[in-house]
Amino acid sequence: MAENFVLKGNICYSQDSRALICVEQGYLVCTDGISAGVYKELPQMYAGFPLTDYGDRLIVPGLTDLHLHAPQYSFRGLGMDLELLEWLNTRTFPEEAKYSDMEYAKRAYTIFAENMKHSATTRACIFATMHREATELLMDLMEETGLKTMVGKVNMDRNSPDILVEETEESLRETRQWLADIKGRYRNTVPILTPRFIPTCTDTLMEELKKLQMEYELPVQSHLSENKGEIDWVKELCPWSEFYGDAYDHFGMFGNGVKTIMAHCVWPPEKEIQRMKENGVYVAHCPQSNTNLSSGIAPVRTYLEQGIHTGLGTDVAGGAGESVFRAMADAIQVSKLRWRLVDETLKPLTAEEAFYLGTKGGGGFFGKAGSFEEGYELDALVLNDESLKHPQPLSLKERLERFIYISDERHIDAKYVAGSKIF
Ligand code: GUN
Ligand code: FE
């Protein structure tokens, strides 16, 4: 159970995309898993709480990965020579098909869960595969990590190979069974409806999934406007749609009261941006995946300026690893290329903005998460940069910037999720 306690150290967190708060030798107070705020002097009323002094280390909010594929973790860093649709057919679908075998699923998902536990991620929205049993196993394993995750059994009933496709009826029956099986089973893990993307889901499947969405009040995750060939294909499959996102909206799975994450959003027409904004859709920006699959560079500056909810995704295995710090650096870097090569009116992201996206920006999908402001669920990382020696003293903001670029999981000394210590 979450307790009452105080963490002391050098504390950094985002208030908004531009305001990074840094408090040297501050006190972060936790009451019942919730932040009671950050203080320069410890208020008397908390003086009796047990205090852990992390010395010169940095304490930052846990990171949120808004989009990744657990079954693809097994081929991360492999086969990056293709664009999306070919990559799905030749690399991804054959690998995901293996998760019909529970022995394989157990081996692969155990590695995934263990590495996620020791990563900087405290919250994640995860695609499993279409296989119900393996999805339930993944949820069991994620539950044990203590991380807060949303996990989806994938739905796909067309334009998929024989080894990885469902009949429409089967897809619905298995999804129902999955929801029934896991009901009440977890504290940290919740289901999220996961139609893979429009090209692999028939209209009938989408209509019926909407009924399940309403019945269980489920959030939704999918892919949107990632690749130009994909977008043209959606236009052919849904000639009635105004734009790609309109197809999801037509089926009632595009925000507007339904908590929705759309991954990528690299090539949004103006109308799609407006609809995402009106409907409150979350964008999962996955810069490394968009580079590896030559998809393009998403207009993240526009999303921030428009006030569209935006966070970061690793999109493993489109992205080669699970580090959200790395995703922050990637987001900054691709935004510079976009600025230089595509649109000089859209300024590159700053380190503060990238840090915001990976913490409070994506954390918003989980409610009050990703910041240390009072009332936020207390997810924290204790970062140790002693081994990243520097010849001069650095400010907290400089040290944080270095973590974004050069740290890895070996530099995380402790991790807390909703007030519970994970390690
Ligand atoms: N679109 C549909 N499925 C996938 C997937 O597995 N990865 C990525 N990057 N895009 C997709
Ligand atoms: Fe993806």
CA 384 – CA 407 distance, rounded (Å): 9
Clarify whether residues 236 and 87 are in a common domain.
yes
Question: Distance from the CA of 318 to the center of ligand 1, in angstroms?
Answer: 8
The string of DSSP letters for 229-293 reads: HHHHHHHHH-TT-SSHHHHHHHTT-SSTTS-EEEEE--S--HHHHHHHHHHTPEEEE-HHHHHHT
Return the closest-CA partner of residue 289 out of 122, 101, 99, 79: 79
Taking CA 186 as the corner, what is the angle to CA 311 and CA 282, rounded to the nearest 5 degrees? 15
Dihedral sign from CA coordinates of 28, 20, 397, 146: positive
Return the closest-CA partner of residue 148 out of 116, 172, 104: 116
Clarify whether residues 112 and 143 are in a common domain.
yes
User: Which residue segment(s) compose the domain that 121 sits in?
Assistant: 62-364
Clarify whether residues 347 and 376 are in a common domain.
no
As a residue count, the chain comes to 423
CA 223 – CA 264 distance, rounded (Å): 7
The ipTM value here is 0.99
CB 197 less than 6 A from any atom of ligand 1: yes
Clarify whether residues 273 and 411 are in a common domain.
no
Clarify whether residues 208 and 338 are in a common domain.
yes
Question: 368's torsion region: left (phi>0), alpha (psi -120 to 50) or beta?
Answer: beta
CA 28 – CA 42 distance, rounded (Å): 9
Clarify whether residues 398 and 273 are in a common domain.
no
Dihedral angle of Cα 111, 117, 119, 121, to the nearest 10 degrees? 120
Question: Distance from the CA of 88 to the center of ligand 1, in angstroms?
Answer: 7
Q: CB-based burial of residue 62 (10 Å sphere; 0-12 exposed, 13-18 middle, 19+ buried)?
A: buried
Nearest atom, ligand 1, residue 318 CA: 9
Site to substitute for ligand 1 among 226, 233, 285, 294, most atoms within 8 A of C-beta: 226
Return the structure tokens found at 312. 């970061």
CB 223 less than 6 A from any atom of ligand 1: yes
Clarify whether residues 52 and 136 are in a common domain.
no
pTM for the whole thing? Answer: 0.98
Clarify whether residues 212 and 298 are in a common domain.
yes
CB 333 less than 6 A from any atom of ligand 1: no
Clarify whether residues 279 and 374 are in a common domain.
no
pLDDT at 3 (0 to 100):
83
CA 308 – CA 311 distance, rounded (Å): 10
CB 292 less than 6 A from any atom of ligand 1: no
The domain that holds 103 is classified in CATH as 3.20.20.140
Q: Which ligand is nearest to the CA of 65?
A: 2
The H or E element spanning position 36 is strand 34-39
The H or E element spanning position 331 is helix 324-341
The domain that holds 31 is classified in CATH as 2.30.40.10
Clarify whether residues 68 and 51 are in a common domain.
no
Clarify whether residues 28 and 85 are in a common domain.
no
pLDDT in tens, the chain (423 residues): 558 999 999 999 999 999 999 999 999 999 999 999 999 999 999 999 999 999 999 999 999 999 999 999 999 999 899 999 999 999 999 999 999 999 999 999 999 999 999 999 999 999 999 999 999 999 999 999 999 999 999 999 999 999 999 999 999 999 999 999 999 999 999 999 999 999 999 999 999 999 999 999 999 999 999 999 999 999 999 999 999 999 999 999 999 999 999 999 999 999 999 999 999 999 999 999 999 999 999 999 999 999 999 999 999 999 999 999 999 999 999 999 999 999 999 999 999 999 999 999 999 999 999 999 999 999 999 999 999 999 999 999 999 999 999 999 999 999 999 999 999
Residues 7 and 27: beta-carbon distance below 8 Å: yes
pLDDT at 2 (0 to 100):
57
Q: Identify the domain boundary among 364, 388, 405.
A: 364
Indicate the SS3 state at residue 170.
helix
| Distance from chain centroid for Cα 263 | 9
How many domains, in total, are found in the chain?
2
Clarify whether residues 189 and 234 are in a common domain.
yes
